[in-house]
Structure 1
Amino acid sequence: MATLFDVAAAAGVSHQTVSRVVNGDPTVRPATKAKVDVAIDELNYRPSLTARALASRKTKSLGVISTGFPFYGPSSTMHGFNGAARRAGYQVSMATLDVDDRQGMRQALDSLVGQNVAAIVLIAPDAEALEVLRRSGVSVPLVTADSEAEDGHHTVSFDQAAGAEAAVEHLVSLGHRRIAHVAGPDGWMDGRDRERGWREACARLGVDSTVLLRGDWTPGSGHRIGRELAVRDDVTAVFCGNDQMALGVVHAYVDAGRVVPRDVSIVGFDDIPEAEHFVPPLTTVRQDFEALGRRLMTTVEAVLAGDEAPVAALDPELVVRRSTAVPAR
């Protein structure tokens, strides 16, 4: 189903101009109106509340779009934001989408604008979703949970690279010299930042950073990669891009008859509630996703009030448990 933004793109005009045409604004030039009318007919666009909402007074309602919802980070961030929004007297309309669903993203933006939202928050760790948002040209304030600051929207994030550096520094302090990295999907911004932090810390500390394997955030992918690593004698430590993959890596080493941390040290990322109950309890990098959600709401309120929004990234915290130790050799 075509959206307001599809019509604007087809006609070569802004979505505000499409809104004016749909609402019968007499100040629109006849040639421009003709182009918009042709696009509406070709795309079979059915005008909704969207055009009226673009020009109307905004209410105390907010829109949230999230991808990656099954994973702990995005879902916990959304929970923290929803609670903070309710306490501030806002209603929240949510849209959860699959990763890389560009058409769904455009439709969600169109729907939320049509509901008179005062602002839209994007909790989507993949670069595709952010790119769609950047190109949308929506007329309401945009706040995103990502580390890629850019004109046109406000960002709130953790310092992912600093968290990765803390993990590497901990392993190097124990004596590890070859630290493998089990990274997340390449299109996820947080994963890229963690990979960058791992590489930079290894370079700065003079340790090997040649062993990189990529998973999909799930324990299954960690287990598959862990089977590859468990037959190697040169890797004494593994830094995983999240705790779920770390769980799979631990499982693979156990299946291979290896002992964690005697034979290999393993560090995760996120500190999911189960991490302290892994066998052994997992050393990991903690991110307070509830705090991230609250910071998103603080930023929304500042933007709507015309105040300066907080810009500093939140700091992750290294949590040392029993999955890391001095290497045996």
Structure 2
Amino acid sequence: MSITIEDVAKAAGVSRQTVSRVINRKPGVKPAVRERIEEAIAVLGYVPNLAARRMGGARSFLIMAINDRERTIENWSAGRGNDWVDQMLYGGMLACEERGYHMLFELVDTEEDKAVEQVRRVLTSLQPDGIILTQPHSENEQLMQLLKDRGRPFARIDQPADGEDALSVHFDDAKASHAAVEHLAGLGHQRILLLAGDSHYRASRTRRDGYSAAMKARGLMPEIEEARYSFDQASTVATQWLSKSDRPTAVIAENDEMAFAVLHVADELGVKVPDDLSIISFEDTPGVRFSVPPLTSIRQPTAAMIGRACELLMDAAEGKEVGGEHILPFELKERETTGPAPQ
């Protein structure tokens, strides 16, 4: 026998409308009454019917996050997994669960016209209350215009806010790159290579700018190679660079996958880490703690960014004013892949 909202109302000694107000987080319910209703919900194990909730108001109680289809499937197909997606789901699902919402996850083509058409279909069929745009979709002007035209709040991840009505959640990529350079330069390194991600991603371009500015401020020459966040491409670049007699003494990799590639190549070539080569990665996925040696990393707050974006979009769905730039802190986690520059 399924528990209904009427059962909750009877157990709490209130009207059905009052229970509905608590479920939908609307004001006008005294704290003691709200607590009594929430206790009845917990004891009875009542789960609100999503369809019924949608009939009772304009909200769908759905927040949708979209991610780069090609790169996500490529990683899954290769058996490498995708910690970015794991962290998205971890941060977003828990934030939504706290407020009775559900999080959807969709893979969308990076080609702009296709992305717009795919998202248009989702908006029509599911009518999510808010959309989380990750890179490169957060730079798709056509897609953002579609969402504005449809009146759907959206949050851009890893993007500065553009315009008064824009909502963005990110961390300071340029400052993080600067911190990585400062850490390595402080250890005496002068030849510091940046193993960059993909120039189609604004965050990658920002990291390159931060790295270059930090290197020049130290009187050092920036050296950048793009490997598109790929283990295989990073392995090719690392093999070329580490085979040289005048190889760099330090590498900053824009994600952990590329950093792992550098570790593998260094081991194959007999280059000792950190005695001969220091490595810093971005992301700080769980695997960095189990690499040999454990990776020094920039811990980017992926789960926290997605969670914060969900909170803001839920606020918007409930009629609150949201917007602007929300910058979350990063950390430099020093482990065993960085050490003094070889003499």
Normalising by structure 1, what TM-score? 0.76
Tell me if the contact between 1:120 and 1:142 (Cα under 8 Å) persists in the aligned partners: yes
Q: Residues 63-106 of structure 1, C-alpha deviation per residue, up to 9 Å, x if partnerless? A: 32222545322441233112211221112333212433631442
**1:289 Cα deviation from its structure 2 partner:** 1.7
2:103 is matched by which residue type in structure 1? V
Change in 2 beyond 3 A, CA 1:104/1:311: closer
- 1:307 match: secondary structure: coil
CA drift at 1:263: 1.1
SS at match of 1:258: coil
Task: Give % identity.
Answer: 26
Where 1:176 maps in the other structure, the secondary structure is coil
Unaligned runs of 5+ in 2: 1-53, 76-81
Distance 1:318 1:131, change over 3 A: same
Out of 129, 142, 145, the position equivalent to 1:132 is: 142
* Greater mean alpha carbon deviation, residues 165-174 or residues 104-113: 104-113
The residue that corresponds to 1:320 in the other structure is: 334
Letter of the 1:255 counterpart = E
Q: Distance in 1 between matches of 2:110 and 2:328?
A: 25
CA distance in 1, matches of 2:251, 2:286: 21
Q: 1:180 to 1:230 in 2, by over 3 A?
A: same
The yes-or-no answer on 1:106 pairing with 2:117 is yes
Distance in 2 (alpha carbons) for counterparts of 1:72 and 1:93: 17
Give CA deviations for 1:107-156 in whole Å, capped at 9, x if unaligned: 2233224423222222x211576333223233211112131322353111
Residue in structure 1 matched with residue 211 of structure 2 by the alignment: 198
Report the residue type matching 1:271 in the other structure: D
C-alpha deviation, 1:272, in angstroms: 0.9
Corresponding residue number in structure 2 for 1:65 = 66
Question: How many residues in Structure 1 have an aligned counterpart in Structure 2?
Answer: 273
226, 245, 250: which one aligns with 1:237 = 250
Match of 2:229 in 1: 217
| Structure 1 range deviating more: 90-99 or 160-169 | 90-99
Post-superposition Cα deviations, 1:204-239, rounded to whole Å, max 9, x if no partner, equal 222221x21100212212211110110232511111
CA contact (8 A) 2:166 2:323 kept: no
CA distance in 2, matches of 1:198, 1:174: 16
- Matches of 1:100 and 1:261, distance apart in 2: 41
Q: By how many angstroms is 1:162 displaced?
A: 1.4
Map Cα deviations across residues 17-72 of structure 1 (whole Å, 9 max, x no partner): xxxxxxxxxxxxxxxxxxxxxxxxxxxxxxxxxxxx9xx93332223222254532
Rounded to whole Å, the distance in 2 between the matches of 1:81 and 1:65 is 12
Give runs of aligned pairs for residues 35-74 of structure 1, distance below 5 A. Answer: 57-67=58-68, 68-69=71-72, 70=75, 71-74=82-85
Deviation at 1:240, TM superposition (A): 0.8
Instruction: Provide the secondary structure at the position in 1 that maps to 2:327.
Output: coil
Over the aligned positions, Cα root-mean-square deviation in angstroms equals 2.2
The residue number in structure 1 matching 2:126 is 115
Query: Secondary structure of 1:80's partner?
Result: helix
* Mapped contact 1:240–1:268 kept (Cα < 8 A): yes
2:181 is aligned, of 159, 165, 168, to 168
Q: What is the CA distance between 1:303 and its match in structure 2?
A: 2.7
Of the three residues 141, 154, 161, the one matched with 2:153 is: 141
Are the counterparts in 2 of residues 271 and 284 from structure 1 also a CA contact under 8 Å? yes
Residue 330 of structure 2 aligns with an amino acid whose one-letter code is P
What secondary structure is seen at the aligned counterpart in 2 of 1:246?
helix
**Residue 89 of structure 2 corresponds to residue 78 of structure 1:** yes
Q: Output the amino acid matched with 1:290.
A: A
1:146-193 C-alpha deviation (Å, 9 max, x unpaired): 313223531111211111111111001000112111000110122112
